A and B are shown apart, each in its own frame.
Chain A
Amino acid sequence: MNKYMIYLNSKRCIGCHGCEVHCKTNKKLPVGPILCEISHEPLKAVRGIPKTEFQFRSCYHCEDPYCVPVCPTGAMQKRQDGIVFVDQEKCIGCMACAGACPWGIPQYNPETGKAIKCDYCMDRVDAGLKPACVTKCATHALKFVTIQEI
């Protein structure tokens, strides 16, 4: 059972793409890999006002991820709390994970030659903090939600 998710309040999102850079700088990524993304629909007039909705996408942290079993070295793993992450020590950069993922989520880091993906900044989460994108969201539109069973 996944414990976490990231929720975007589109009403507060101003499409500043800050989250993308907050993520990249926290993970020390070079130009190239982008682990989370803000996108929006083309503008459409709603009662005379051109409007759009924003979407935030990082990794779905699937209940039954394809990327995990396909990994030849066991680098791609799923934690008890649902977070799917890459063990950088074990990764050999074959990118089988990206091929197996229906959305091509895992990215290649040209600097390390290894796969990298959103892991909800698990080192921060384990330290009682929130993921970088959520912590620094310019308008507090992103929320890190702990899912509770009812």
Chain B
Amino acid sequence: MKKTVWSMCGMCSVRCPIKVEVENGRVEWIEGNPHILKGALCAKGSAGVALIEDDERPQQPLIRKGGRGAGRWEPVSWYTALDYIGEKLNKIIAQYGAKSVMMSCRGGPWADFFKTFIHGLGSPNFTNHDSACGRNVHHASLSIYGLGRKDLIYDIKNAKHLVLFGRNILESLRIAEANQVLDMLDAGGRLTYVDVRQTMTGIKATRFFQVRPGTDYALALGLINAIIKREAYDKEFIERYVTGFDELVEFIQPYTLEWAAKECEIKLKPLQMFVEELAGDRPRVIFHPGWMLSRYNDSFYASRSLHILNVLMGNIEVKGGQLFPKGAADCGVKGIRNLSSLITQKPTDKRADGVGWKYKHFDKGPGLFHLFYDAMETGEPYPLKALICYRHDPFNCFPDPAAQKRALDKMELLVSVDTHYSEFGWYSDVILPESAYLERESPIALQKGLKPRLIVRQRAVEPKFDTKPSWWIFKQLADRLGIGQYFPYNTIEELWAWQLEPTGYKIEDFNAKGFVELTDKPIMYDRNNLDGKFKTPSGKIELVSTVLTEAGLPSFKPYVSPIKPPEGMFRLVFGRSAVNAHGHTINNPLLHELLPYNTLWINKREASKLGINDGDWVDVSSQPQVTTGTMRAKVTDFIHPDAVYMIHGFGRQIPLQTRAYHAGMADQKLQIGLLKEMDPAGGGLCLCEAFVEVRRSPKNPKRSVEL
């Protein structure tokens, strides 16, 4: 029996729309939705079939038998596992209150589902991974526009010039976005790339600046200075929509282009030519404000500066610039119903991470996960006793897992709900295995854009093992915790129907293309009447932010030069490859075949000083020296001498993942002490503020005397 199933990829968090061909209960073919992606898919997307077949993933619920992390598990039935969690949680709630339970999810289109669960339970402590990812960008965006980082989208295809500060857009690989970049280049657009090393994105650039690590902010300031001096900004737009411009002009005076070139260790002339290009390409210039920008201790201000450059370009709601993503209301139709609408009384307790009361300038939404570790350790403002992580692996995501474990040891219950063994799951008390994305459905979600659409993930094949979809797992837990009323369904069809009811659509309407478009034509706002669109306290684009000022934080932070690495040490930077989605695909057989381990990129001159040749084993040690590991060196001209680089996600330590086990090294395990280093204004962690020592390893063979 053959059938076509419309679904959404789940190999990474981009969630590309896909078309799946199934025959006799087996996936025969996966391609990008032809109506949206014209078939395009990445290596990870095709390797989804290997994920289903992979038996090195949890195959039924597991309850820990030995000590945490010892890897001794008792396989149990779903009802045993759910009853166990239910009883434990009910006991914890009776003793410490619902607020002692926290829940982390991976964000994205279904976050509402998990928020409903924890808020329904009566706990305010909903969180996600974002303080190790986009929080600085998000808060920077909020401080300027009053809009979150996803409340503006980029019309890259029609841009004349795309400027990327370390945003490795072609290896992060959102298929639709990558094609926009290449279409822009094909149409003669320019791409300027700034990074401490060369990347797949940088090789496509028309201009490339290899800067000293940690100087992005300096470069952005120099550009603001030059653009203002040259009067290459949109005066009318600034007059109409922007406050704080005069303060910016005053602040920016010392930060000349000449100064920036020196500080970033790049040549002045190309920088001047770059400014000329910007002046000519405006307003169709996009400065990408960053995606994962939890890097340096001034990344929040670097992102703010990139947003300011966008404002100077006047690129908002223009073709080839930044656009407002449109929702159901813009199309004059009703949106889907979300579970959170059933929560009539939000939890009144203050958040344990301090967001909203101690830190008033941060978005309360998911708060900041890393700050919960303080609360766990100190019991302040109140004790935390249980943590449920849905598809989030804090040990892979946040620095210094050993420090995290010390805090988590104060918790009575750790639950991991995931499709694979996560490092956190391996340390937790219960693993609830979720079915792989091809084996499960997901609720309907709205994808905003110029042409907003409703999207859905449908089940392609039956689960290979005794795994369950999250909509079922959390409904079951909710019933056991007395909050079943927030999950008013028994089957996914009932949930879909409930969600779709206000829209008038039926799930069958997704059969033709896999999605439902809420409009035929792209919707643009009138750029001359954007009043009310900016959600800052003043309703204007605020270069001097009311929120930051009230929190006693500067809107313009004087630049502080990053410290040079001490002798023999390097700044550790990390990034990603197009064939892996951080840690969770490393053990996939077909992806492992493409990239079995990561290497340490090191500058050729520095390597020669240390006697390191390409391919040598090197010992990499954290500072202070608590973690040391060995990996292969990749000696290259194309990384700044101050930095060493590795792909994130490797160095996994779960014995049941035989391919990934101890393959390569994990950058986060070398980031000692960084769990508490947060940008106080942006809330992002400073993950590139770690130095490591690199030595040629004694493991390099001199001789081998075996028979």
Contacts from A to B (Cβ < 8 Å): 11-12, 14-18, 20-22, 24-26, 30-31, 34, 43, 48-52, 135-141
A138 to B181, CA, bound (A): 12
Q: Is the beta-carbon distance between B578 and A20 smaller than 8 angstroms?
A: no
Q: Is B175 an interface residue (CB 8 A)?
A: yes
Q: Is the beta-carbon distance between B590 and A16 smaller than 8 angstroms?
A: no
Q: Is the beta-carbon distance between A16 and B579 smaller than 8 angstroms?
A: yes
Q: Is the beta-carbon distance between B46 and A11 smaller than 8 angstroms?
A: no
Known: A17-B579, A137-B40, A140-B40. A26 touches B29 (CB 8 A): yes
Q: Is B182 an interface residue (CB 8 A)?
A: yes
Residues of B close to A17: CB separation below 8 A? 43, 578-579, 594
Give the top 5 A-B pairs by smallest Cβ distance, nearest first.
A16-B578, A21-B46, A21-B43, A50-B198, A49-B208
Residues of A close to B170: CB separation below 8 A? 14, 16
**Residue of chain A at shortest CB distance from B638:** A50
Q: Is B200 an interface residue (CB 8 A)?
A: yes
Q: Which of the segments B31-39, B110-118, B296-304, B533-541 contacts the partner chain? A: B31-39
Known: A18-B43, A43-B198, A51-B203. A138 touches B593 (CB 8 A): no
Chain B interface residue number, banded:
35 or more
Q: Is B548 an interface residue (CB 8 A)?
A: no
A26 to B202, CA, bound (A): 31
- Cβ proximity bits B197-212 to A, threshold 8 Å, 1 near / 0 not: 0101011111110000
Q: Is the beta-carbon distance between B202 and A16 smaller than 8 angstroms?
A: no
Please give the distance in Å from A20's CB to the nearest CB on chain B: 7
Q: Is the beta-carbon distance between A50 and B43 smaller than 8 angstroms?
A: no
Q: Is the beta-carbon distance between A12 and B203 smaller than 8 angstroms?
A: no
Residues of B close to A30: CB separation below 8 A? 589
Contacts from B to A (Cβ < 8 Å): 29-32, 38-43, 45-47, 49-50, 170-171, 173, 175, 178-179, 182, 185-186, 198, 200, 202-208, 270, 578-579, 589-594, 636-638
Known: A21-B46, A31-B590, A138-B173. A14 touches B204 (CB 8 A): yes
Residues of B close to A51: CB separation below 8 A? 203
Q: Is the beta-carbon distance between A135 and B39 smaller than 8 angstroms?
A: yes
Q: Which single member of A24, A31, A48, A138 contacts B42 (CB below 8 Å)?
A: A138
A24 to B46, CA, bound (A): 9
A24 to B588, CA, bound (A): 14
Q: Kindly list 17 other residue pairs between chains A and B, CB separation below 8 angstroms, not including A24-B46, A50-B638, A139-B178.
A: A12-B182, A12-B186, A18-B42, A18-B43, A18-B45, A20-B594, A21-B591, A25-B46, A43-B637, A48-B208, A50-B202, A51-B203, A52-B203, A135-B31, A136-B32, A136-B41, A138-B173
Q: Which single member of A15, A20, A52, A139 contacts B40 (CB below 8 Å)?
A: A139
Interface centre among A14, A17, A26 (most CB of B within 10 A): A14
Please give the distance in Å from B7's CB to the nearest CB on chain A: 15
Residues of A close to B39: CB separation below 8 A? 135-136
Known: A22-B46, A48-B208. A15 touches B200 (CB 8 A): yes
**Residue of chain B at shortest CB distance from A134:** B39
Q: Which single member of A18, A34, A140 contacts B38 (CB below 8 Å)?
A: A140
Residues of A close to B203: CB separation below 8 A? 43, 49-52
Please give the distance in Å from A25's CB to the nearest CB on chain B: 5
A15 to B202, CA, bound (A): 12
